[in-house]
Structure formats: C-alpha cells, structure tokens
Amino acid sequence: MRITRSHLSFLVLAVASSIFPTAFAACTDDDGTPKLGSPDAATIDAPPSTTGDAGRGDATTVDATTSDAKTTDAGDASNSDGAPDGAIRYSCGAFSESPGWTVAAGFRAVVLAKDNGLNQPVALTFARGPYAGLLYVINQGDNVLRRIDTNTGVVSSFTAAAQWGAKAPVVLTTITWDEESVLDGQLYVGDQGGDGDGDSTIYRVGTSGTASTFVTGPGPGLDDIFGLSFAPKGSAYPQGLYATGDTDGVGVDWGVYLSTVDAGVAFSEVAGSEGISFVKLPSFGGTLLASRPAGGGYAGADEVSRLLADGGLGTPLATTLPGIHAVTYSTGGAFGGNVYVASWSTGKLTRIDSAGAQTELASGLTLTNYDGNILAVSPDGNTMMVADRGANRVVCIEPI
C-alpha cells in the first residue's frame, strides 16, 4: 500500500497516540450443516500486536494497548482539528488495489487491508465515542477481535484469542455496538457454540479490549447465534439487545436482553434469520429487518423480512433474493437512505430503497453462508466496508 509516511513513522505515531491496540474452528450445525462457532467469559486487555502500512491492504501491524484515545493526525481516523469522532471524514483515497469485483457506475472498490492479522474476517462494525470511530473486525479463523483505522489501513489486535475468558470461543460470528447506550455502550460479540443445542455465548468488550461474558446458553436466541442488534431508543420495540439463532425447532430462535443482568425473554419464533438490523430510517418505519435465506442450513424464504414489535412477520421489504444473508443500512452520505444486502448464492451486493426496489451495487464476490455480518457503512455514510472472509481481506466501496 502506498502511504504518505514511512513504516517507521507509522509505528511511532501509533505507539505515541495509543489508539491501535491490538475467530475459525471446525464446527457444524445441529443438523450437520457447517456453520460458525462460540466465545465466552471475562478477561484482560488485549496485548500489543503489530500490523500497519496503508495502500494495497498489506499493512504492517502496530502495537497499542488501549482503545479510548484518538489521534489528531490528519492521516488517522480523527480530524486534525481534534473534532469529535462523529465528525470524522471517512475515505479510502489512499488505496488503489482492486478486489476484482464489478461495481456500479459512480463507485469504486479497493482493498483496504489484507492478511496482516486478518484471518477469515467474518463480521465487522464501526464504533464511535471511546472506541475512536474505528472499524472492529471479528476473525473467525483465530477468534481474535481486531480493529482497523480505515483511513490508513492500520490493523491492530483489540481482544486476543486467549482473552475471552474461561470458556474459549468456538466460532465467533457477529458483532454489534450499543450506539445509544441501551445497555452500557459497549461492543457485543456473538459466538455460535459447538454442535450441541443452546450453547451460544454473547460477550461484551469494553473500550480497552477487556472481554466478559454477557450471557451464555441455554436461553432465547442462544443456539447457533448469527444476529445481534440493539433496538433504538424511542422505538416501538422493547429496548434491549436482540439475538437470533437457529434452534432447528427445539428452542426459541429469537431473544431480547433487556438489561446487563437479564436472563433474556423470548421475542419471536420466526425461523431462518441470519443477518439482522434495526433500520433507523423514517422511510423504512424504524423496523427490524432480517435476512432470511432458504438453504445453507436456514429455513427462511430468500427475502429481507420485517419483524414487527410483537415478534410477528410483517410484509417483506424485498423478495426473490437467493442466498440473502447480510443486511445493513446508512443514514446519510453517499450510501444514505437505503438498505444494503449481500447474497452468497449470487455473489452480489444489492441496494434496496424503502419501496423495495433493488439495484445492483457490486458483483463478483465469493461468499459463503457463514457471512451474515460482513457489511458496515461508516458513520458519515461515505464508505462501505465488506469483510471478504475467504480472501482474508476487508474491501472498501466508496463513491468516485
């Protein structure tokens, strides 16, 4: 990757600012279908690691031990004037390597980071405030939580594989940030668990990378967990963390966790969900969307479903989407006002407006039924990050 400063200056900058601190075991679903796995328990801060050059995605890593500091260098995620991270301007302009995808007119796709600590990246999310506006990425291959400064391509370890606690993860699958402090403002990470029923775990991860067990199965939504999302404050939905899994008919597929000490309550019996997202857009009615593929171990309908506040199914947002598995949205910027989904069957990313009209954004992706949480739009709405698990890389899509 080409950058404006040497590798050495990157190392000095990262250590000085301390913002770059530093998940795939074989597992099958209860019916024998290969799926993802499981994390658990409480622990310590992630140790320093290394990764950090920008440009083609082959960055060197950078040591750091905390996540709450922000740099003020113009090349990093925070603005050079020290503005809060809500004002960060996200751009992939420093990168040029093509992932080999076909992208809609007016957009481009570039490799943001590859290898350098990325080991089957399977889920990602942006987190602001004390999490410094960085991109947090779940490695399925080694059960490490990493983070990336998407303006520079610097990758660092945030929570190490040995730091999830006494119950080690089996296969990490999903991550979400409690943006509105519905519970406590932390990152939440889902672990599918092993071959048994009701053995998924949800961890929470603090701003220094410290992980602790939030809840572990059995419980509602805690079997082969794939989806996590927080209900926005003021919505018609019960306030809490929503979790969905796949019990194969032997348990409750959806649960909602209403407090940090809550055992969870059943929310819905709608089966076959993988990616989920509360869409905070008035044009979409502030609804909970779920990607529900048919096949690949899922009993959905190849649609983006609306789940109502009572747990029932509403009118689907979009249908005829084979292999649909990831869903996200953007509130502003170049990607604003729309929902975005991915399909493992077609290898396509699709834009969906509030009327359900579909427009292809990108094609030529190589995806699997594991990849239900691979999309994240930056807080300013101007870049979309895609976890390309099979190629050990994260790809950025942005307007030209």
305 close to 290: Cβ distance less than 8 angstroms:
yes
Q: What is the mean pLDDT of the chain?
A: 80
What letter represents residue 306's amino acid?
R
**pLDDT at residue number 197:** 76
The answer to whether residue 134 is domain-embedded is: yes
Q: pLDDT tens digit string along 377-388?
A: 999 999 999 999
- Where is pLDDT greater, at 278 or 26? 278
Q: pLDDT tens digit string along 82-93?
A: 334 547 889 999
- Angle subtended at Cα 128 by Cα 284 and Cα 236, rounded to the nearest 5 degrees: 30
| CATH for 43 | 2.120.10.30
The answer to whether residue 116 is domain-embedded is: yes
Rounded Cα distance, 148 and 136, in Å: 7
Position 195 pLDDT exceeds 80: no
Does this model's pTM top 0.95? My answer is no
What's the pLDDT band for 311 if we cut at 50, 70, 90?
very high
Residue with tokens 């084979």: 322
Position 43 pLDDT exceeds 70: no
**pLDDT at residue number 296:** 65
The answer to whether residue 265 is domain-embedded is: yes
- Where is pLDDT greater, at 298 or 194? 194
Lowest pLDDT segment from 14-23, 210-219, 261-270:
14-23
**pLDDT at residue number 145:** 98
Position 362 pLDDT exceeds 90: yes
**pLDDT at residue number 12:** 33
The answer to whether residue 5 is domain-embedded is: no
Rounded Cα distance, 194 and 359, in Å: 37
The answer to whether residue 12 is domain-embedded is: no
Tell me the pairing of strands 265-268 and 102-103.
unpaired
The answer to whether residue 2 is domain-embedded is: no
Domain tally for the chain? 1
Q: What are phi and psi of 237, to 5 degrees?
A: -85, 145
What's the pLDDT band for 249 if we cut at 50, 70, 90?
low
What's the pLDDT band for 396 if we cut at 50, 70, 90?
very high
The answer to whether residue 9 is domain-embedded is: no
Q: pLDDT tens digit string along 73-113?
A: 333 343 333 334 547 889 999 999 999 999 999 999 999 99
149 close to 73: Cβ distance less than 8 angstroms:
no
- Which residues form the domain of 344? 18-75+92-399
The answer to whether residue 7 is domain-embedded is: no
Three-state secondary structure of the chain: CCCCCCHHHHHHHHHHHCCCCCCCCCCECCCCCECCCCCCCCCCCCCCCCCCCCCCCCCCCCCCCCCCCCCCCCCCCCCCCCCCHHHCCCCCCCCCCCCCCEECCCEEEEEEEECCCCCCEEEEEEECHHHCCEEEEEECCCCCEEEEECCCCEEEEEECHHHCCCCCCCCEEEEEECCCCCCCCCEEEEECCCCCCCCCEEEEECCCCCEEEEEECCCCCCCCCCEEEECCCCCCCCCCEEEECCCCCCCCCEEEECCCCCCCEEEECCCCCCCEEECCCHHHCCCEEEEEEEECCEEEEEEEEEECCCCCECCCCECCCCCEEEEEEECCHHHCCEEEEEECCCCEEEEECCCCCEEEEEECCCCCCCCCECEEECCCCCCEEEEEHHHCEEEEEEEC
341 close to 294: Cβ distance less than 8 angstroms:
no
Position 279 pLDDT exceeds 90: yes
**pLDDT at residue number 65:** 32
347 close to 363: Cβ distance less than 8 angstroms:
yes
